Amino acid sequence: MDLLRSHKKAQKTQKKIPLRVVPISVPTPFYIGPVNVYLIPEDPVTIIDTGPKTKEAIDALRAGLRSAGFLVSDLRRIVLTHAHEDHCGLAKSVRDEAKNAEVYVHNWETGHRHSRLEYEEHRTLLVRAGVPDGEIERMRRLYEHMRKYADSFGDDEYTSLWDDAELEFESGSLRILHTPGHTPGSCSFLREADRTVIAGDCVLKRITPNPVLSPDPINPSRRFPSLAEYLVSLARLRSFSPTLVYGGHGEPIRDYEELFHRYFRAFQDRQAQVIGFVTKNGVTAWDVALKMFPSADDVHRFLSVSEAVAHLDMAHSEGKIGVELNNQTEIYKVF
């Protein structure tokens, strides 16, 4: 059977069988806590996400597979929702051990796939956000340190996922939905028979995912419009009326509609807060990040800048605030 084919072709053979999903909780050294790996225990045996490259994670993955009756060597497909270390870190070593397995990830996950963060492009985005040099250097060192939690992939070492294609299984298929926002190449997977979705970090039960500051994969000198894309992705998932959503962290979501509205309220509140920090004299995204999260440290500094940029971008595109460039740094002003 084809491992990946177009949705239109697959529709003819869709079977009405619910998807069997075995969640495996894998520890991470990160603040977010354990990550969910999802095993689809049928031919071709597939995992969605892998966990970070640590001994604790591979041990937990092996144990989870074993209790479902599988070994790493049984895996045929390693599918990645996105290329953050906690999700993709073990992909290469698991693939090498499984021998016959193929890795699938959307080709817009470039920055992360080739060892986290294409440095120069990110640097430009951080300068534009008004982040001081010393902070940029601190962020660089921090992400340098993160590299050890994931192996990078060459362009010939994976198959790209594309929107509306299908991953086929014995019991039917999983439709690939490109759901950008958290990262440019984030993907979700839909079983139409029972409207089950595996959504990676696009949908998380207890926290609102961060639209991470990323270069645009089509034109890396520009910024990816993470928040605007993210809101479209959430609405797109909603259009399928999912009954069960498996997120990248935490428990599954049984009431997507409630979560969708909760996220929207949170975005509106944050948007209002961010606009409230913009003055007549002008502020940078960095100024806003410091005001929003004064005690954020380490990786949270970068995430708070991401959040500020995402909301300022959105407010600007909706004509609520103005922006001008001063020495490569964007200054946001109220009219």
Give the binding site for Zn ion (CB under 5 A): 84, 86, 201, 248
Min dist CB 85 to Zn ion, Å, is: 9
Min dist CB 210 to Zn ion, Å, is: 8
Q: Which is nearer to Zn ion, 198 or 275 (CB)?
A: 198
CA distance 64 to 75: 13
- Helix %, strand %, coil % of the chain (to 5): 40, 20, 40
Q: Which is nearer to Zn ion, 86 or 102 (CB)?
A: 86
CA count, 13 A, side-chain hemisphere, 1 = 18
CA distance 207 to 81: 18
Strand, coil or helix: what is 172? strand
| Cβ atoms within 10 Å, residue 61 | 23
Q: Which is nearer to Zn ion, 185 or 248 (CB)?
A: 248
Which residues, 6 or more positions from 261, have their beta carbon under 8 angstroms from its beta carbon?
none
Q: What is the amino acid identity at position 328? A: Q
Min dist CB 183 to Zn ion, Å, is: 6
CA distance 185 to 217: 9
Answer yes or no: are the C-beta atoms of 105 and 88 closer than 8 Å.
yes
Q: Which is nearer to Zn ion, 89 or 172 (CB)?
A: 89
CA distance 25 to 118: 30
How would you classify residue 218: left for phi > 0, otherwise alpha for psi between -120 and 50, otherwise beta? alpha
Min dist CB 251 to Zn ion, Å, is: 15
Dihedral pair phi/psi, residue 245, rounded to 5°: -125, 120
Q: Which is nearer to Zn ion, 77 or 82 (CB)?
A: 82
CA 99 from chain centre, in angstroms, equals 27
Cross-sheet strand order for the sheet of 165-169: 4-6, 165-169, 172-178, 187-191, 196-200, 244-247
Min dist CB 222 to Zn ion, Å, is: 21
Q: Which is nearer to Zn ion, 166 or 201 (CB)?
A: 201
Q: Which is nearer to Zn ion, 51 or 248 (CB)?
A: 248
Q: Which is nearer to Zn ion, 201 or 287 (CB)?
A: 201
Min dist CB 209 to Zn ion, Å, is: 7
Q: Which is nearer to Zn ion, 86 or 168 (CB)?
A: 86
Q: What is the amino acid identity at position 153? A: F
Strand, coil or helix: what is 267? helix
Min dist CB 83 to Zn ion, Å, is: 9
Answer yes or no: are the C-beta atoms of 57 and 28 closer than 8 Å.
yes
Min dist CB 104 to Zn ion, Å, is: 17
CA distance 330 to 321: 12
Min dist CB 205 to Zn ion, Å, is: 13
